[in-house]
Amino acid sequence: ELLDQGVVIENIIEASANHPELVEKYFMTEGVKIDEHKLAAYHAAMLNGGLFVYVPKNVQIEDPVQMVVLHDDEKTSLFNHVLIVADEGSELTYVENYLSNVDKSNEQFNIISEVIAKDNAKVNYGAVDFLSEGFTGYVNRRGVVGRDATLDWALGLMNDSNVINDNTTYLMGDNSVSNLKTVVVGRGEQTLNFTTQIIHYGKDSSGHILKHGVMKDSASSIFNGVGYIKHGATRSDAQQESRVLMLSEKARGDANPILLIDEDDVTAGHAASVGRVDPIQLFYLMSRGISQKEAERLVIHGFLDPVVRALPIESVKNQLREVIELKVLSK
């Protein structure tokens, strides 16, 4: 039925041969530019997999489209590209999973996703990343949102490797909307960097960022949140909240909320907090006969659950709760 309506869901390499006019028009032209920086150029040169999704005008896909990428060779690097184009008035829910079944890899992954939501389109983008340790990774998820369009992100960033995550959404059209919700758990000796930006160009645009992270062991993280209202984007609304919970003396978390405002008639705000587990909470739970490990587990779930419950995709909620349980209980 979807094929009859003109929907395209293909491996991106096959799609470039079968639908060259569509792929060439959108591949690294509006979202991430090929010459944007060295990592983007390296990605374009080494591309070895990915997905292309095109939803024609006014077509609504009811069931989620899901891609699962399994990394099963410790000597192979992953250069994956996802390109989603939702034409005017269309709707799509997309879910992706990056998984490993190797204990450790000394290779790299360089992942780029581009989402083009044209006028009046609506895209829900969900992801749960859970790649093994040893990798060095770069993940760039980029959105371009047209007039009266909506792009919502629901991201569970659970990789065990050292990763730079860049998530940027351009609200180009008037009344465009983007909500981003991210959950992170770091452990071991991970080094993590998360930069989240929503950049407003259209009038009456709305961008909200919500990020909660937990750092265990010797893991360290930086949360950069940027709400940027450009000149001309009057009556726009930029809000963000970043909170980091550290579970040990060696864990580290930094939250940097940034508001860049080039307009007068706007609404903007931010909240950020970094701290350790409240010892009074742990003492209270342990006084009821709960072990310290179980008490920490309950505190972590309580800290992350407000974000998890707010995710708009049910399957992502369930996957994320399972992965959080794995990361919290192990090591």
pLDDT digits 0-9 by tens, 199-248: 999 999 999 999 999 998 899 999 999 999 999 999 999 999 999 998 88
Which phi and psi (to 5°) does residue 260 adopt? -120, 110
Q: Which of 204, 237, 109, 117 is nearest to 169 (CA)?
A: 117
Q: Do 331 and 189 contact (CB within 8 A), yes or no? A: no
Which phi and psi (to 5°) does residue 43 adopt? -60, -50
Q: How many domains is the chain built from?
A: 1
Domain that holds residue 302: 3-329
- pLDDT-derived band at 331, boundaries 50, 70, 90: low
Q: How many helices (H) and strands (E) does the chain have?
A: 6, 17
Predicted pLDDT of residue 142: 97
Q: Which segments of the chain does DSSP mark as H helices, in order? A: 12-18, 20-26, 38-46, 279-287, 292-310, 314-329
With a cut of 80, say whether residue 175 has pLDDT above it.
Answer: yes
Whole-structure pTM value = 0.92
More confident residue, 313 or 155: 155
Distance CA 53, CA 40 (A): 20
How large is the average pLDDT for residues 170-176?
A: 98
With a cut of 90, say whether residue 181 has pLDDT above it.
Answer: yes
How large is the average pLDDT for residues 174-186?
A: 95
